[in-house]
Structure 1
Amino acid sequence: MTAIIWTVLGYLLGSVPFGIVITRALGLGDLRQIGSGNIGATNVLRTGNKPAALATLLLDSGKGAIAVLLARYFGGETAAILAGCAAFLGHCFPVWLGFRGGKGVATFLGTLIALYWPLGLTACAIWLLTAAISRISSLSALLAALASPFLAWSMGRSDLILACLFMVALILLRHRANITRLLNGSEPRIGRKD
């Protein structure tokens, strides 16, 4: 019962669209009408406001981490894993926005860091290295996500493999258009406003 409660609370926390909240509060307009229309930090960066993008990144990753840490404290490890996956699901399909949310990358990384920090930080390092080389956010996200189940297995955390696979599947689903653009060479680079 506790795990179910924390799953629901994790989903509701993950559903908070911080990118929209921040851009509206700063008078930057409706984020869904800017750039890609996505509600995450990469699209906030397209407004030209780097502090807003950083705040969105931290809050979107933080909501996954907070869901995990609270659930672990009050309900144990199974509750933590479920709450983290639910927070990730909430970001991708938020109830407050008619289930049209973001791509989940920041929430995915925050969730992994809270579940097992060596796994989360290694995934972050893959994202950063790929971004530094390619300057393509989606490619960085896809490689970090795809590596996560293998990393969990190699680090002896087989209990996290299913959670990683669940999040990877949703990241791939949410990045369908990006994958198409990557394949045809038209995916925009980090920092471009179009």
Structure 2
Amino acid sequence: MDTKILLMLVIGYLLGSIPSGVWIGKAFYGKDVRQYGSGNMGTTNTFRVLGKKAGTLVLLLDMFKGTLTACLPLMFHSNANIMLIGLSAIFGHAFPIFAKFKGGKAVATSVGVLLIYNPLFFCISWIIFLLTLYITSMVSVASMVGFTIISIISLFFGDWILIIVAFSLTIFVYVRHWGNIERIKNGTENMVPFGLWYKKQQNKQK
């Protein structure tokens, strides 16, 4: 393997391994988000445990991990595929060396990679996610449904690497959300405090 590619993969993995939610929680709130809520260190649980400011910061940092990793081929003047290098950050976020290999669901980091790899696809993905989130009021559902639709849309781009990665990530997202799927079935899944489904549930309680 080319030395540059190996170095980029290592750097990408280490960047992805940075547990933004854990470090921000401990540094500024005196809390380890893994000990609260769903026990996940990702964006959704950070929003739930630490609030909007911390959640937004973690979202941006987790996306930036993917974006920065996707920029590595440009920085190293390499013709390595951006998406494939970006996968190292996604893998790092899911299995972080700095958090005992117990990471998040890698949704934000994946989106960060897409921003550099294909800005148009990134915009489409973001719109689908936000629209689904508004309808369902559940980040887990928005992530799973969003990735499913995104995978189907990837077929129209004619980019086999994008197609393979999109479908692989969709499977991965479903696996990582298995606990959420059980809670959705039981009607106990956490909702964000906005959106159509949230409003419907609030009206029922009145």
TM-score w.r.t. length of structure 2: 0.86
How far the C-alpha of 1:119 sits from its partner, in A, is: 0.9
Q: Deviations over 1:123-148 (max 9, x none)?
A: 11111001111110000001121223
Q: Which segment drifts farther, 159-168 or 18-27?
A: 159-168
Q: 2:188 aligns with which of 174, 186, 189?
A: 186
Q: 1:155 aligns with which of 138, 154, 157?
A: 157
Structure whose alpha-carbon radius of gyration is higher: 2
Aligned to 2:202: none
Output the CA distance in 2 between the equivalents of 1:166 and 1:191: 31
Output the CA distance in 1 between the equivalents of 2:71 and 2:173: 22
Aligned to 2:128: 126
Output the CA distance in 2 between the equivalents of 1:191 and 1:3: 43
- When the two chains are superposed, the root-mean-square deviation of aligned CA atoms in Å is 1.7
Q: Deviations over 1:21-71 (max 9, x none)?
A: 111111241111111111111111112421111000000011001100122
Q: How does 1:16-55 map to 2 (within 5 A)?
A: 16-55=18-57
Give the partner amino acid of 1:89: F
Q: 1:106 aligns with which of 97, 105, 108?
A: 108
Output the CA distance in 1 between the equivalents of 2:68 and 2:51: 25
Structure number with the bigger relative contact order (C-alpha 8 A, sep ≥ 6) is: 1
Output the CA distance in 1 between the equivalents of 2:42 and 2:72: 23
Q: Mark the runs of 5 or more structure 2 residues left unpaired by the alignment.
A: 195-206
Output the CA distance in 1 between the equivalents of 2:125 and 2:80: 21
Q: Which consecutive aligned stretches of 4+ in structure 1 deviate over 4 angstroms post-superposition?
A: none
TM-score w.r.t. length of structure 1: 0.91
1:9 has 2:11 as partner: yes
Output the CA distance in 2 between the equivalents of 1:26 and 1:191: 24
Q: 1:116 aligns with which of 96, 115, 118?
A: 118
Q: SS of 1:26's equivalent?
A: helix
Output the CA distance in 1 between the equivalents of 2:49 and 2:92: 24
Q: Deviations over 1:134-191 (max 9, x none)?
A: 1100000011212233222212323311222232222111111111222332211025
Output the CA distance in 2 between the equivalents of 1:191 and 1:114: 31
Q: 1:174 aligns with which of 158, 173, 176?
A: 176
Q: Mark the runs of 5 or more structure 1 residues left unpaired by the alignment.
A: none
Aligned to 1:144: 146
Q: 1:67 aligns with which of 66, 69, 72?
A: 69
Give the partner amino acid of 1:143: V
